[in-house]
Structure 1
Amino acid sequence: MSGKDKPKSAPDVPGATKAVRKLGDELAEARQLHRLLVDPLLNTVRAERLRVSVTRSLWFFLACGLGFTTAGVQAFLADGYTTADPQWWAAWLVEPAFAGILITLLRWEAEMLARRLEVTAAVVRKLKRLLLFSTLVMNVIPTVRPPDGHSFNLGNLFVHIVIPLIVFFLAEVMPVVQEMCTRAKDTATVPAAPDVDLDQQTDEPPADIVRPAVAPVVPSVKLPPTVMTQVRTTLDSVRSEGRTPNVADIAKVVALPDNLARQLLADLTPVNGHTVPNI
Structure 2
Amino acid sequence: MTTTSRTTEPPDEGGGEVARGLAALELHLAQAAAGDAPDDRGVPEPAPDEPRDVPEPAAEEAGVTRRVRARLAEHAEAHHLLRLQDDDAPFQVASNRVRRRRKAVAEAGELWQLARDPRVLAWRDARVRRLLVTIGLVALTLALAWSTAGVQLFAAEDAAKFSPQWWFAWVAEPFCSLALLMVVGGRAYLTTRGRQVDAPGINRTEWTFLGLTLGMNAWPHLPGVAEVFTVSSLVLHLLGPVVAVAIVRALPPLLAAFTTLGLTPDTTPAPAPAPVAAVTGADRPEAPAPEPATAPAAAARPALPRRATPVRTTAGSTIPEPKRRTREQLQAEFERAVRDRPAGFDPANAESIRRTLKCGKPIAAELRDGYLTDRRGEPGTD
| Contact in 1 for aligned 2:219/2:225 (Cα 8 Å) | no
| Contact in 1 for aligned 2:154/2:219 (Cα 8 Å) | yes
SS at match of 2:196: coil
The 1:86–1:192 alpha-carbon spacing in structure 2 relative to 1, beyond 3 Å, is: farther
Instruction: Write out per-residue CA displacement over residues 161-210 of structure 1, whole angstroms, 9 at most, x where no aligned residue.
Output: 343122111111121232223334x25x665979x9xxxxxxx7398xxx
The 1:40–1:13 alpha-carbon spacing in structure 2 relative to 1, beyond 3 Å, is: farther
SS at match of 1:76: helix
Q: d(CA) in 2 for partners of 1:61 and 1:78?
A: 26
The 1:163–1:40 alpha-carbon spacing in structure 2 relative to 1, beyond 3 Å, is: same
Residue identity opposite 2:274 in structure 1: P
Q: Does 2:137 match 1:59? A: yes
- Counterparts of 1:163-202 in structure 2, within 5 Å, are 163-184=240-261, 186=262, 191=266
Q: Which runs of 4+ in 1 moved over 6 A?
A: 145-148
The 1:103–1:53 alpha-carbon spacing in structure 2 relative to 1, beyond 3 Å, is: same
Q: d(CA) in 2 for partners of 1:193 and 1:53?
A: 33
| Contact in 1 for aligned 2:118/2:306 (Cα 8 Å) | no
Instruction: Write out per-residue CA displacement over residues 36-83 of structure 1, whole angstroms, 9 at most, x where no aligned residue.
Output: 211111111111111111221122221111111111111001001113
Q: Does 2:234 match 1:157? A: yes
Question: Whose radius of gyration is greater, 1 or 2?
Answer: 2
Q: d(CA) in 1 for partners of 2:145 and 2:133?
A: 18
Q: Match for 1:136 among 210, 214, 223?
A: 214
The 1:206–1:129 alpha-carbon spacing in structure 2 relative to 1, beyond 3 Å, is: farther
The 1:33–1:191 alpha-carbon spacing in structure 2 relative to 1, beyond 3 Å, is: farther
Q: Does 2:111 match 1:33? A: yes
Instruction: Write out per-residue CA displacement over residues 96-150 of structure 1, whole angstroms, 9 at most, x where no aligned residue.
Output: 11110110111110111111112121111111001001111111111126988x5
Q: d(CA) in 1 for partners of 2:168 and 2:94?
A: 81
Q: d(CA) in 1 for partners of 2:268 and 2:210?
A: 48
Q: d(CA) in 2 for partners of 1:99 and 1:190?
A: 43
Write 1 or 2 for the structure with the bigger share of helix.
1
Aligned to 2:321: 258
| TM-score, normalised via structure 2 length | 0.46
| Contact in 1 for aligned 2:176/2:209 (Cα 8 Å) | yes
The 1:107–1:206 alpha-carbon spacing in structure 2 relative to 1, beyond 3 Å, is: farther
| Contact in 2 for aligned 1:40/1:191 (Cα 8 Å) | no
The 1:206–1:97 alpha-carbon spacing in structure 2 relative to 1, beyond 3 Å, is: farther
Moved more, 92-101 or 173-182: 173-182
Q: d(CA) in 2 for partners of 1:248 and 1:122?
A: 30
Aligned-residue RMSD, C-alpha: 3.9
Cα deviation for residue 23 of structure 1 reads 4.5
Aligned to 2:181: 103
Q: Which has the higher contact order (CA 8 A, sep 6+)?
A: 1
Q: Does 2:114 match 1:114? A: no
Aligned to 1:241: none
| TM-score, normalised via structure 1 length | 0.61
Q: d(CA) in 1 for partners of 2:91 and 2:274?
A: 29
Cα deviation for residue 24 of structure 1 reads 3.5
The 1:222–1:21 alpha-carbon spacing in structure 2 relative to 1, beyond 3 Å, is: closer
SS at match of 1:118: coil
Aligned to 1:200: none
Residue identity opposite 1:60 in structure 2: V
Instruction: Write out per-residue CA displacement over residues 78-98 of structure 1, whole angstroms, 9 at most, x where no aligned residue.
Output: 001113542221111111111
Residue identity opposite 1:86 in structure 2: P
The 1:27–1:12 alpha-carbon spacing in structure 2 relative to 1, beyond 3 Å, is: farther
Aligned length: 203
The 1:97–1:115 alpha-carbon spacing in structure 2 relative to 1, beyond 3 Å, is: same
Q: d(CA) in 1 for partners of 2:159 and 2:260?
A: 51
Cα deviation for residue 160 of structure 1 reads 2.0
The 1:192–1:72 alpha-carbon spacing in structure 2 relative to 1, beyond 3 Å, is: farther
Unaligned runs of 5+ in 1: 1-10, 197-203, 208-219, 232-245, 250-256, 261-279
The 1:247–1:79 alpha-carbon spacing in structure 2 relative to 1, beyond 3 Å, is: closer
SS at match of 1:205: coil
